[in-house]
Amino acid sequence: MNRKYRKTVIAGNWKMNKTPSETKEFMTQFKAIMPKGRWCDIALCVPAVCIPAAVRAMRETRVGIGAENVNANASGAYTGEIAANMLVDAGCKYVIIGHSERRAMGETDADVNAKVLAALEVGLVPIMCCGETLEQREAGITAEHIAMQIKLGLQGVSEDKIRKVVIAYEPIWAIGTGKTATPEQAEEVCESIRTVVRKLYSSKNARAISILYGGSMNEKNAYELLAQPDIDGGLIGGASLVPEKFVQIIEAANQPTV
């Protein structure tokens, strides 16, 4: 992390876990032990039906609530879908876009791009995900694959909007497997992402965007991962479901930075 130039963001991704009642319970417990310091931004991205309960519970706090997906269209005949302005009206600040679990359901880079643009249009912070499979890593094409996802995902995002985008690097082989990328592996890719952004935008903006790591990040490995210069936070799955663990990860982000 480098707090001089960019924000540190600790974000939870609950995926398809917790009911609205369980959300309320979690928030009560989390609020009671939440660190008071302001060394990082805190986000919790929750299932759509849990958004109202999460927003209500966190109203007086600095925790931003987010969604896990959005439809790129503004409105219309898209049964079951949710538009970006609906998320804003419901109190969301963030939205995860292009998670590998959604890409596995058929979401393409073009879809991701349209969703990023839709989120930015209404002032939501898109947390745009990228990541390689184990096969791609073993074939030595991680950097190329990630560069392509970033370039396609950011198409049409203007120089003045790029700072709003948060990028999350999540190697697919590390998600929910307990297998974390080493700090060096994660840093190498996060640095390469910043290089791609620097080629597309100004150096100043490339330096200012937050790049998160995700994939079995937990209370034990967070400190070391967050100590890397280009890892500006975490996108946390399993460990964000337990208030004590999520708090310990937030605490791990409280470290001296260059």
Of the residues 68, 99, 101, 132, only one is catalytic, namely 99
Of the residues 68, 101, 170, 219, only one is catalytic, namely 170
Integer CA distances (angstroms), 141 to 50, 88, 128, 138, in order: 38, 37, 20, 8
Strand segments, DSSP code E, in 89-188 are: 94-97, 125-130, 166-169
Contacts of 162 (CB under 8 A, 6+ apart): 154, 197, 200, 201, 205, 209
Residue pointed to by tokens 């979690």: 26
Exactly one of 196, 235, 249, 252 binds ligand 13P (CB under 6 A); that residue is 235
Per CB under 6 A, 237 contacts ligand 13P: yes
From CA 174, how far away is CA 68, in angstroms rounded? 19
From CA 165, how far away is CA 122, in angstroms rounded? 13
User: Closest separation between CB of residue 186 and ligand 13P, Å?
Assistant: 12
Contacts of 197 (CB under 8 A, 6+ apart): 150, 154, 162, 167, 205, 206, 209
Kindly state the tokens that stand for 258.
């260059």
Per CB under 6 A, 233 contacts ligand 13P: no
Q: Annotated catalytic, 121?
A: no
Per CB under 6 A, 176 contacts ligand 13P: yes
- CB closer to ligand 13P out of 101 and 201: 101
User: Closest separation between CB of residue 236 and ligand 13P, Å?
Assistant: 5
- CB closer to ligand 13P out of 167 and 206: 167
Q: Annotated catalytic, 99?
A: yes
Residue of closest CB approach to ligand 13P: 237
Could you say which residues in the range 71-100 bind ligand 13P, by CB under 6 A?
99
Per CB under 6 A, 175 contacts ligand 13P: yes
Per CB under 6 A, 217 contacts ligand 13P: yes
Judged by CB under 6 A, the stretch of 19-27, 116-124, 185-193, 229-237 that binds ligand 13P is 229-237
- CB closer to ligand 13P out of 16 and 258: 16
User: Closest separation between CB of residue 53 and ligand 13P, Å?
Assistant: 20
From CA 82, how far away is CA 75, in angstroms rounded? 8
User: What length is written for the chain?
Assistant: 258
From CA 241, how far away is CA 258, in angstroms rounded? 31
Exactly one of 8, 13, 71, 210 binds ligand 13P (CB under 6 A); that residue is 13
Residue 72 dihedral angles phi and psi, to the nearest 5°: -75, -20
Judged by CB under 6 A, the stretch of 17-25, 50-58, 150-158, 208-216 that binds ligand 13P is 208-216
The residues that touch ligand 13P, with contacts defined as CB under 6 A, are 13, 99, 170, 175-176, 214-217, 235-239
Could you list the active site residues?
99, 170
